[in-house]
Chains A and B, each alone.
Chain A
Amino acid sequence: MEGDIAEMGKYIGAGLAASGLGGAGIGVGNIAGNFLAGALRNPSAAAGQTATLFVGIAFAEALGIFSFLIALLLMFAV
């Protein structure tokens, strides 16, 4: 019985941890949306900034990836 509750908590925790990825989704959408808004105002400057765009997306995504990592750890390592 005790083991069952621990197992259940593990899966609930993994699900909760994965919800952190929603934050990463908001962040990435924010960056891409603002990039698009800026790019439509000044299309000639947009091409030079795509590298910055992807670096920004990668950094925003990294924090969501950590919660995904926690979920994976709970599922497979704990």
Chain B
Amino acid sequence: MAEDGASGFVIKPMDQFIVKPLFGGDHIAWYTVTNVTLWMAIAVVVIAAVFMLGTRRRAIVPSRSQSVAELMYGFVHNMVEEVTGHEGVKYFPYVLTLFLFILFSNLLGLLPGSFTTTSHVAVTVVLAMMVFLGVTVLGFIKHGIGFLGMFWVTSAPLVIRPILAVIEVISYLVRPVSHSIRLAGNMLAGHAVIKVIAGFATLAVASPVVIGAVTAIYALEVLVACVQAYVFTILTCVYLRDAVGDGHH
């Protein structure tokens, strides 16, 4: 892709997303331990460390790591209660798990030399499909066949209701696509931009500017990592509201 010029000016922004087996070989089967597996495991270990070691003493006046854990817990709890309503608090553990996994995967991916698991569509599609299937099954369990009434907009005039129903069904089915691609796309694009701009540092003239630019974009990426975790979680809450709420929104 990139030109291999005389100056050796090569930028390969997509190389950081290559999935490699950890223990040699180049064949990847479903059980192969790859760098994706490694960084997912690291994310889980870090979450467990923050939450279990941080809250171990259960102090009245929280230590620093305990208040980090408490802040995140309270933040997601408020969000679920506010968006989904009182009925949705039952599903709060799942939403918190999603939020923490995505947030820590995103933030760990920003460490130099690390691997961003959430930049892979395969990872985010699984997360989004779990939400989609879970919400659909839950809706049918809660409301029975009446869950389909969600697509029949009773507040619209009778003539355009069938057209609206088709649109509603399409927008419902497209949810997991946008839900997953949004996260993966943001991560992929952000990291690729960092690498492209960092690649210009090989030109000696440009390097002071490039260092400033990379720092600024890195700061932006930290923000994006948090915002995308938040957006994924809040959309999960919105979808959940359709299933556990009273069905009329």
Q: Using CB atoms and an 8 Å cutoff, list the residues of chain A in contact with chain B.
A: 51, 54-55, 57-58, 61-62, 65-66, 68-69, 72
Contacts and interface: CB of A to CB of B under 8 A. Distances in A.
A62 B178 CA distance: 5
Nearest to A76: B14
A68 B181 contact: yes
B132 to A, nearest CB: 14
A21 to B, nearest CB: 9
B171 to A, nearest CB: 9
Contacts of B235: 55, 58
B231 A65 contact: no
Nearest to B178: A62
A65 B185 contact: yes
B92 interface: no
A51 B82 contact: yes
29 contacts: A51-B79, A51-B82, A51-B83, A54-B227, A54-B230, A54-B231, A54-B234, A55-B234, A55-B235, A57-B231, A58-B182, A58-B231, A58-B234, A58-B235, A61-B182, A62-B178, A62-B182, A65-B178, A65-B182, A65-B185, A66-B177, A66-B178, A66-B181, A68-B181, A68-B185, A69-B177, A69-B181, A69-B185, A72-B185
A55 to B, nearest CB: 6
Kindly name the residue among B82, B227, B234 whose own CB sees the greatest number of chain A CB atoms within 10 A.
B234
A54 B237 CA distance: 12
Nearest to A58: B231
